[in-house]
Structure 1
Amino acid sequence: MIYYTLPLLHKQATLEMVGGKGMSLSKLLTAGIPVPEGFHVTTASYKIFVEKNHIQPHINKLLDGIDSNNTSQLENVSTQIGMLFHNGEMPQEVSDAIKTAYAGLGNIAVAVRSSATAEDLPDASFAGQQETYLNIQGENEVLDAVKRCWVSLWTARAIAYRVKNGIKQEIVALAVVVQKLAFSDASGVMFTLNPINGRRSEMIVNAAWGLGESVVSSLVTPDTIVVDKNAERIVSYEAANKEIMTVRTSDGTEEIPTPEQLRKKHALTRNQVMRLTQLGKKIEKYYEMPMDVEWALEKDKLYIVQARPITVLPPEWTLPEKDVIYTKGSLAEHLPNPVTPLFATLGLEIVNRASALLWIDMFGKSAKKLLPENGAYTIINGYVYLSANSKPLLIAVKSLSPRSLRRALTNSVARWETARKEFEDVIKQWEEKPMHMLNAHQIMEGIQTVFYGACIYFTRIQLTLPAASISETLFTKFFQGAARRAGITDTSVLLLGFDTIALQSEKNLWDLSEWAKQNNTLGFYLKSNPATKIAEDFKSSILPAEVSQEVWIEWKSRINAYFKEFGCTAYEFDFAYATPQEILTPTFESIKAFLEEKGENPYSRQIAFEKRRKQAENEILQQIGGHRKKLFLKLLHWAQNTAPMRENAIYLMGMGHPLIRRMLQEISERLLTGGAISHLDDIYWLTKTELETLITQLDKNIPLSNLSEAIPARQAEHDTFRGYVSPSQLPEKNKKAVSHATQIQKDGKIVLTGIGTSTGVVTAPACVLNSPADFDKFQPGSILIAVTTTPAWTQLFASASAIVTDIGGPLSHSSIVAREYGIPAVMATHTATRSIKNGQMITVDGSEGTVTIDE
């Protein structure tokens, strides 16, 4: 028997007949959950409508060879399919069944919701692809709304989704749910786990006034309530300014401004929150998995209008030790991505050994009380965190003692120079050794020695860098008023334009481009080929046809000299990441930009900054006199001496990385020959113990263990970790645990908030770079989105129109360089690299500290 409609709670209902949404509501009713009464319009109704009106052959013809990325083509086809449905006649048996079922509800106002057969399944999250029509009243209006739901199966977005996911267009069908419309006083969504921090013991409820569409469609920032599920108590209730609400009208719904007295008022009482929590627990228990639930409140009665499994479960950030604070500070800032197994086991052990010495140096006998059992740095869900026992008073007393301050703030530049020289000596000593003559144990010793040198260098600069930030903070604080009176709104102009290594590097590339201009054939070759092709040719032994051998040899020699001087740095402190000497594209992009006159002459920019700096100094000096003038000059010169040191010190942190990677490659080649691994880079996916075992086998000349099978699973886990948003502090401060405090809704658009660190407003396409491996994707003129940047990224800034990072602050590298290039920058957005997609148009406002996703 063919059922064209079925009651919501009917034993005959199957996923194929009533779709995901319909099945979900039937299950909820079975579990005794309050669901507004209604009925299913089954997929059989859709199929007979399509068949009787001969629609499918037309659809197949229209979709033949369609391009899922061609938006205008998709929209055009969608419109044509929509007309086929609009003009189609509802078969008598279908319309009679719908009219009878609707009359059974009492001809009331209903919600008519699409229910796709591929929707809301744990393995094929298809939610939000189809439409919902609210406040529909009258049998003809219901029939029309059902038809419009069917049409919504053929929106441009839904067609593209099916093409991209390989879902056959001819097998899809749509069921529809017709339900009594709850006259919602308030409504919203509930997650039966905390989707922000992954805590299974917490629920999050979003609530706003009126119908739920404004919450589901992100038109309003709702109240956010965190509930402890087990104790059934409210952990926190953040009342939002609910500016908009969705209300019923005579012919549907509309968004209206929320009455002033309700805007900041709690949308739910404590009792209502507790009842909702109990329903959530009941639903979760019935489904045996965390759920995303839509609810409505009508005259103090709660209804559940939808429940779907949460398909992507967030991680739980379980703390390795009690009473320890974990932050993304210090070295963890230079490890923004999840680390590889080799760094996690070999690298971090060396980092912690060097850090323990620093802690003893800084805190003396108190170091034992402050240092956690796992060491200064530990890994949580693949991410490195700086950790300390929770004794803030002890840390403050020890860090701010006169002895500690005096040591950190005096002779900082000289102390950095000494640390740099000692690190350079370690590198030089190992660079001079003939690597192919060493056995694997000796090379491993070299790797550990050079990396230990890098870690000791980092701990030494930890005691020099405070001088740069404190001197800048002091002179800004004391002379902000004088600067303002002189018409200078940004005192950072007094610290820009100094000859840092990054600037010298850029000037060197400018000189290279000027030399290339003199050689017509080389200049033409560089302009007419993409940077990726130039990089390929550079590594190849074959000479490009259009360039003479003499010029090409000179070109390669100059580039190699550039890398010898400026390529000794790292993009990330995890040595698994390639260095600038290996990723050549950004260097060639910079030279191309200068050749094509898209990049600014760094010499001219430096002269302009020097002029502005001196002018600003003179203007401020005119505002002050006597002792204040002396203090100003003393603080200014201190800040100007230490600011370039800060940039240079960080630039050289990865000075040993090119050598470490060459040594690891030497061992890796031997492992590859011996059949232990399948690719050169597989060495980074081994643990320290596994690598040491293989090294022993190599040097004893015995068959190597084959570890290549274990590697894909580790890489997959690493990719999973990369998808997480790692909290900046653990345990989280309560507010951060509640909601994305950094993400708000405004006029239906997502707005990320952070710290504006370089002024200006720019709208341009986004380019998300998760690591140096993505540098090839960077398009000049786009907005650079990264977790953070180091000085090695500087050459990308020359062609970026703005900078946005997940972490960082006004004194971070990204901020300093953005100000120097005069482009807007917003730091500390926490989620930019996860919230923004490549190519999306975004607006960066460096004054307000906001990033608006425009599409």
Structure 2
Amino acid sequence: MENIGWLDQDRGAVLVGGKGANLSRMLRAGLPVPNGFVVTTDAYRRYLEAADPQGHLPHLVDSGDEAGIRELFTTPLPEDLAHDVVTAWRDLGGGAVAVRSSGTAEDLTGASFAGQQDSYLNIRGADVLVDAVRRCFASLWNERAVAYRTRHGVDQHRVALAVVVQKMVEAQSAGVMFTANPVNGRRDETLVSATFGLGEQAVQGGAADTVVVRAGTVEQRSTVDKRVRIQSSTEGSGTVDLAVAPQDRHASALTDAQAVHLAELGHRVEEIFQAPQDIEWVLAPDGALVLVQARPITALSQTVGDIPEDWSVPDDKAMYVRASIIEQMPDPLSPLFADMVRPAVVQGLRTVLRRYFDDRSLRPGDLDFPTINGYAYYYYGRDGMLRLLKQSPQAVAALGGRSQLNGEKLWESAHPAYQQVVANWGEQDLEGLPSRQLLVGVQSLLDAACEYYATVQAVIPLAASAELPFTRLYTSLAKQAGGPPASVFLQGFASLPIEAERSLWSLAQWCRERPGLADALLADRPLGGIAEAADFQRRLAEHLDRFGHTVQTLDFMVPVPADDPTPVMETLRWYMGAKGLNPDERLNQQTARREAAEAELFSRLDPARKAILQPLLVKAQHLAPVREDALADVGLAWPLMRRMLRSLGGRLVDLGVVGEADDIFWLRRDELTAFCDQLDDGAAEQTATMAEQTATMAELVEARRIAWRGQRAATPPQLLPHNAWYKMFHRFMPAMETQQEGPVIKGLGVSQGRITGPARVIRGPEDFDQMLPGEVLVSPIMTPDWTPLFAMAAAVVTDVGGPLSHSSIVAREYGIPAVLGTGIATRRIRNGMLITVDADRGQVTMPEGEAPVESGFKPRVPYKFAFGAAAAAALALRKLL
């Protein structure tokens, strides 16, 4: 058995561990790595035989007997092993050394094992060195290392440990370098963290400067207050913490030239291992840079483009607004959707507006649907807006009148027309359709959907004209001290989103009654061989056929439950675990509470107040479910559209233009049209041209994805630019724009109550499985497919939303507090943060110290209006925009 191996010799990771093998390769490649030796895994096994001759360790580990494990590893190293260690140290030249654990399980894919075992710096003397090696061996079995291996599925009984011993390098500065930026995933950026003295402070996330190097140039630099430096002790082994002189605390720990040279060394390491690296480095007092550790970056995020900061617009006299349909587009748009939805929205909006405004009010160029930094905005030219404003009182009257222009009547006719368009295209043989015809079909479905959505918007002002006045007047004229909030009078009504929840709940109860099926579903195991599997699949398909078109975002690149039922299955498992309240029971309880509140209210009101409130309440109770039903079916065309587009994508894969079907969403409309022409005209034989197109499109698709990720990190203004239109309309926007930097985030309280709980930030259906019962649901926006999460949530907080939004209605139905329209909740709140949601005051409170308190903050009051013709016009326009 080999006890000692030298770093300048070729030794495999099985013998010297991951850290030892990496350092050996770097040293032999000529990189500045301090020489040293490795106490091998053979030596570890010899020690383990001496310390545990009866083989008790596996039982101690399995039983979690930490005291018993510690007792085993108090055994000293065998004399011959200790002798070999001391001899190698003397051959190295003696003096101070660094002693670092090097595990055989280190740096697996997705698991770095960084910091799980112990390391010791500035070890002086033979006896101290031998004991440091023993302590490194023991650290293989400390609590955190065992738990980490368990989480990553590593066989506990096959691991071993080596120990790297290197000459100690005194540090002027030290830190960590990532050869790819872990913050934004960019492979062309090197991120360096640097602090005074030894690098333990930077490694452990303490105060350290950061430098970003790109293409041989320092692109960014952040210098922090470094109050403490860790140095080798001058009185023996170990390190000491020393205070940094006040005049030096804000000095840079690394110059630009040193950072650039360090990045060059990092790229050499990356070339050796053919993967981005996490490297620990030291700047010696003589200015030499040395590398003391390297491991692959195991959790590198996807590359993120630059976050946009310029929100200037082409027409600074117009109004660019994110409202109405755009509330269903919280993220930047995919390129194909942006191109195809633009004419569809404009045409749908023109169709609806012409019902309420004469032809002179709308002229070419008045309306558009452009993107700014990837985000969709309605565009209204100045002159067009003025013409619409002049006629808005008549439009408001027509919306709520008894003619066929009444919003509810329009929806009743628009819904079957939309259904028919979807049905007609659904009857087509998609595989047999020419590619150009498939693209025509997608555009036709999107046109129909946008016209339907624009028509649905006519329902919302009707609901507003009853619900908001009732709430205001009830609170001011009829509510008694301790009486129920106005929201109680609007609870207990079924709608399509609630029906979807009831359907899934019913399916969960059916599954629970079949133990074999239930066990497999709860464990997420295949259903092969289970008798009820076919029946379950049929029932699930029926549920998805009826409710699988609910959309989180209108951008068709995002799957809907019909083609990715993962969120549905997660909710089903949660219901099967007997969690949540039976929706029928909840609905019955709310109905009983509402009816009792109504009876009490109208029994004590005088005739005058009753005559004011009762018609408003009847109208609000009727229209609230209508609004939810109308919005829930906006996505009827989405499952079919996605099938058609992915069918086209598959053809492009066969043609060799793109790598996978979903790449189609990152093409522009004109690019896709050209490829459809090639597909239909048999251009697949042009192999040289195809190869060239494939390389070009792969680069374009990746560049667009990178840019999209950067855009998604931005917070788009709700209204642009800051002109006269902004002053008139910004208070009606569905999200607050003030940069709220204090511990209290203001918003709009829409469902009464106050609760404190851990936050869970959910950005979309891909995150639904992270939601746990009792957490506060924090999201950018919520659409009908979010409804199942309300059954788990203790409260709801959104960036975007108002009193008539879906999240407002559903939060009220579930009886949980909700604060909407904060503008920045998802940017400020982190998972696990204990927050207080106070819907009565419309605010969310984070822990003290999370951010500095902003002075002079004045919250926006959304939807605040007086009941006059001008205000009604503004509200109507906000809903029609």
Which segments of 5 or more consecutive residues in structure 1 lack a partner in the other structure? 1-51, 85-90, 95-112, 135-141, 155-161, 177-310, 538-542
Instruction: Pick the aligned partner of 1:169 from 277, 280, 302.
Output: 280
Question: Counterpart of 2:555 in 1: which secondary structure?
Answer: coil
User: Which of the residues 319, 322, 330 maps onto 2:313?
Assistant: 319
Instruction: Flag the 1:765–1:525 CA change in 2: closer, same or farther, 3 A.
Output: same
**Matching residue within 199, 212, 226 for 1:131:** 226
Partners of 2:666 and 2:317 lie apart in 1 by 32
Number of the residue aligned with 2:854: none
Structure 1 partner of 2:426: 431
Match of 1:851 in 2: 844
C-alpha separation between the residues in 2 aligned to 1:449 and 1:495? 37
Distance 1:801 1:153 in 2: 46
- The answer as to whether partners of 2:747 and 2:843 remain within 8 angstroms in 1 is yes
* One of 375, 378, 381 as aligned partner of 1:386: 378
Deviation, structure 1 residue 153: 12
**What does 1:754-765 align with in structure 2 at a 5 Å threshold?**
754-765=747-758
The aligned residue for residue 88 of structure 1 is none
Percentage of identical aligned residues? 30
| Corresponding position of 1:275 | none
Contact 1:62 1:77 in 2 (8 A): no
Q: Match for residue 23 of structure 2?
A: none
Letter in 2 for 1:741: T
**Corresponding residue for residue 186 of structure 1:** none
1:699 aligns with 2:680: yes
For the residue of structure 2 that corresponds to 1:641, the secondary structure is helix
Q: Quote the residue 1:709 is aligned against.
A: 699
**Using the alignment, how far apart are the partners of 2:98 and 2:121 within structure 1?**
11
Post-superposition shift, 1:349?
2.0
In the TM superposition, residue 344 of structure 1 has moved relative to its aligned partner by 1.1
Q: Does the 8 Å CA contact 1:742/1:752 hold for their aligned counterparts?
A: no
Deviation at 1:795, TM superposition (A): 1.2
From 709, 721, 732, the counterpart of 2:711? 721
Take 2:335 and 2:610, find their aligned partners in 1: how far apart are those partners? 55
Q: In the TM superposition, what whole-angstrom CA distance separates every residue of 1:578-597 from its partner, at most 9, and x where no partner exists?
A: 11112312212222222212
Mapped pair 1:834 → 2:827: yes
- Please state how far the C-alpha of 1:494 moved relative to its aligned partner: 1.2
Pick from 589, 592, 598 the counterpart of residue 573 of structure 2. Answer: 592
Distance in 1, matches of 2:505 and 2:430, equals: 35
Question: Which stretch shifts more, 638-647 or 623-632?
Answer: 623-632
Q: Which residue of 2 aligns with 1:255?
A: none
Contact 2:777 2:796 in 1 (8 A): yes
- Alpha-carbon distance, 1:366 to partner: 4.6
Amino acid at match of 1:568: H
Kept after mapping to 2: 8 A contact 1:153/1:174: no
Cα separation, partners in 2 of 1:486 and 1:779, compared to 1, 3 Å = closer
1:473 aligned residue: 468
Q: Is this contact kept in 2: 1:756–1:827, CA < 8 A?
A: yes
- Give the one of 324, 330, 340 matched to 1:336: 330
Q: Secondary structure at the match of 1:681?
A: helix
SS of 2:378's equivalent in the other structure is strand
Which of 198, 211, 219 does residue 121 from structure 1 map onto? 211
Counterparts in 2 of 1:763 and 1:643: CA distance versus 1, 3 Å? same
Q: Is the 8 A contact 1:409 1:466 kept in 2?
A: no
Measure, in 2, the Cα distance between the counterparts of 1:416 and 1:459: 10
Partner of 1:38: none
Partners of 2:314 and 2:441 in 1: how far apart?
32
The 2-side partners of 1:818 and 1:427 are apart by 31
1:475 Cα deviation after fit: 1.7
**Letter paired with 2:98:** P
* Map of 1:743 onto structure 2: 740
Contact preservation (8 Å) 1:569, 1:651: yes
The 1:590/1:775 distance shift into structure 2, 3 A limit, reads closer
CA contact (8 A) 1:409 1:467 kept: no
Q: Does structure 2 retain, via aligned residues, the 8 Å contact 1:119–1:125? A: no
1:632 matched to 2:613? The reply is yes
| TM-score for the superposition, normalised by structure 2 | 0.62
Checking the alignment, whether the CA contact within 8 Å between 1:352 and 1:376 is kept in structure 2 is: yes
Counterpart among 98, 104, 116 of residue 57 in structure 1:
98
| Equivalent AA in structure 2 for residue 778 of structure 1 | M
Task: Give the partner amino acid of 1:623.
Answer: R
- Is the contact made by 1:447 and 1:663 (CA closer than 8 Å) also made in structure 2? yes
Offset of residue 627 of structure 1: 4.0
| C-alpha deviation, 1:653, in angstroms | 0.9
The amino acid across from 1:438 in the alignment is L
Q: Offset of 1:830 from its aligned partner?
A: 1.3
Q: Which amino acid counterpart does residue 441 of structure 2 have in structure 1?
A: G
In 2, Cα distance between the equivalents of 1:757 and 1:427?
35
**Matched residues in 2 for 1:423 and 1:723: separation?**
35
Q: 1:432 to 1:639 in 2, by over 3 A?
A: same
Change (3 A) 1:782 1:143: closer
Letter in 2 for 1:439: P
Q: Deviations over 1:58-88 (max 9, x none)?
A: 5x4599999999999979989x98999xxxx
Counterparts in 2 of 1:382 and 1:151: CA distance versus 1, 3 Å? closer
Report Cα offsets for 1:746-775 as digits up to 9, x if no partner.
Answer: xxxx43322222233444443333333333
1:334 Cα deviation after fit: 0.9
SS at match of 1:589: helix
Other-structure match for 2:521: 526
**Matched residue type, 2:444:** T
* Pair 1:848–1:166, CA change in 2 (3 A): farther
Q: Is the 8 A contact 1:486 1:620 kept in 2?
A: no
Deviation, 1:812, is: 1.2
CA distance in 2 between counterparts of 1:54 and 1:151 reads: 33
Distance in 1, matches of 2:806 and 2:96, equals 60
RMSD: 4.3
TM-score (norm 1): 0.64
Could you tell me how far apart the structure 2 residues matched to 1:799 and 1:342 are?
35
8 A Cα contact 1:493 1:612, kept in partner: yes
Query: Which residue identity does 2:716 align to in structure 1?
Result: S
Secondary structure of residue in 2 paired with 1:630? helix
Residue-by-residue CA offset, 1:133-159 (whole Å, 9 max, x unaligned): 89xxxxxxx9743599999999xxxxx
- Is the CA contact 1:768–1:837 (under 8 Å) kept in the aligned structure 2? yes
- Contact persistence 1:569–1:658 (CA under 8 A): no
Q: Indicate if the aligned counterparts of 2:570 and 2:768 stay in contact, CA closer than 8 A.
A: no
Q: Which residue of 2 aligns with 1:442?
A: 437
1:656 Cα deviation after fit? 0.7
Distance in 2 (alpha carbons) for counterparts of 1:419 and 1:343: 23
Q: Distance in 1 between matches of 2:818 and 2:96?
A: 52
1:710 alignment partner AA = L
Shift of 1:414: 3.3
Question: Structure 2 CA distance, aligned partners of 1:512 and 1:144?
Answer: 64
**Aligned position for 1:645:** 626
Q: Per the alignment, in what secondary structure is the counterpart of residue 760 of structure 2?
A: strand
Q: In the alignment, what sits opposite 2:488? A: 493
Matched, 1:407 2:407: no
Map Cα deviations across residues 69-115 of structure 1 (whole Å, 9 max, x no partner).
9999979989x98999xxxxxx9xx9xxxxxxxxxxxxxxxxxx969
CA contact (8 A) 1:787 1:833 kept: yes
Q: Does 1:689 align with 2:670?
A: yes
Aligned-partner Cα distance in 1 for 2:112–2:645:
47
Q: Following the alignment from structure 1 to structure 2, what is the Cα–Cα distance between the partners of residues 502 and 462?
A: 18
Output the amino acid matched with 1:420. Answer: H
Confirm or deny that 1:767 pairs with 2:760: yes
Instruction: Measure how far apart 1:427 and its partner are.
Output: 0.8
2:547 paired residue among 556, 566, 570? 566
Matches within 5 A, 1:64-463: 119-123=209-213, 127=222, 131-132=226-227, 144-146=243-245, 166-171=277-282, 314-368=308-362, 372=365, 375-390=367-382, 394-401=387-394, 403-408=395-400, 410=402, 411-463=406-458
Q: CA deviation at 1:649?
A: 1.0
Counterpart for residue 39 of structure 1:
none
Contact 1:762 1:802 (C-alpha < 8 Å) held by counterparts = yes
Structure 1 stretches of 4+ moved >6 Å: 52-56, 62-78, 80-84, 115-118, 147-154, 173-176
Q: SS of the residue aligned with 1:121? A: strand
CA distance in 1, matches of 2:106, 2:419: 59
Q: How far apart in 1 are the matches of 2:533 and 2:464?
A: 45
Contact 2:224 2:250 (C-alpha < 8 Å) held by counterparts: no
Alpha-carbon distance change, 724 to 598 in structure 1, aligned in 2, over 3 angstroms:
same
Secondary structure, aligned partner of 1:639: helix
User: What amino acid sits opposite 1:506 in the alignment?
Assistant: E
CA distance in 2, matches of 1:758, 1:56: 63
1:767–1:839 Cα contact (<8 Å) kept: yes
Question: Per-residue deviation at 1:729?
Answer: 1.3
**For residue 501 of structure 1, what is the amino acid of its counterpart?**
L
Aligned pair count?
A: 610
